[in-house]
Amino acid sequence: MPKSKKRAKAVAPSPAPSGGVSRRSLLGGGAVASAVVLGGGFWGVSSFRSYAAEHDLTRVGKGDLAIVQIHDPQCPTCTALQKQTRRALRDFDDCGMAYLVADINTPEGAAFARRFNAPNVTLLLFDGQGALQRRVQGMQQAADLAQVFAAHKAAV
């Protein structure tokens, strides 16, 4: 029996469909996605560090004046006071005053509040050695708090 010879058909590569995904576009999109992920990761780490520093109650009495808010995150009045306090403190950047939060839902925050017999919606103002100088209870506006903070800074 004779062997049949089959000819292989030459197949030309088909062009990429219009609107298709090329290797170049995948690499470019990957670079953008990587930048977004890295940026988000940096923001997350930075946010966590800020949160941790703000909740580090061991900073009271370490040389800087400290303003500690006794805070319940589920309390709308506490959240409003926190916003007003942060707004008032904008004028005191880098002046040796630390703003700290004693979250009463954590063991450390609850113990701190008990030690100073302070309910939530309260600001405690400490000198650099950790002695309580003033207590501000209830909701306050930023302008009023700025005056209290200025007086606290001047008195110490």
Do residues 100 and 149 touch, judged by C-beta distance below 8 A?
no
Structure-token pair, residue 79: 């959240």
Can you give the pTM of this predicted structure?
0.68
**pLDDT digits over 12-50, tens only?**
555 555 555 555 555 555 655 555 555 555 444 445 455
Do residues 83 and 128 touch, judged by C-beta distance below 8 A?
no
Structure-token pair, residue 156: 């110490």
**pLDDT digits over 126-155, tens only?**
999 999 999 999 999 999 999 999 999 988
Question: What torsion do the CA atoms of 34, 36, 38, 41 make, to the nearest 10 degrees?
Answer: -140
Q: Residue ranges per domain, the chain?
A: 60-155
Do residues 121 and 85 touch, judged by C-beta distance below 8 A?
no
CATH H superfamily, domain 60-155: Glutaredoxin (3.40.30.10)
Helix (H) or strand (E) segment spanning residue 68: strand 65-71
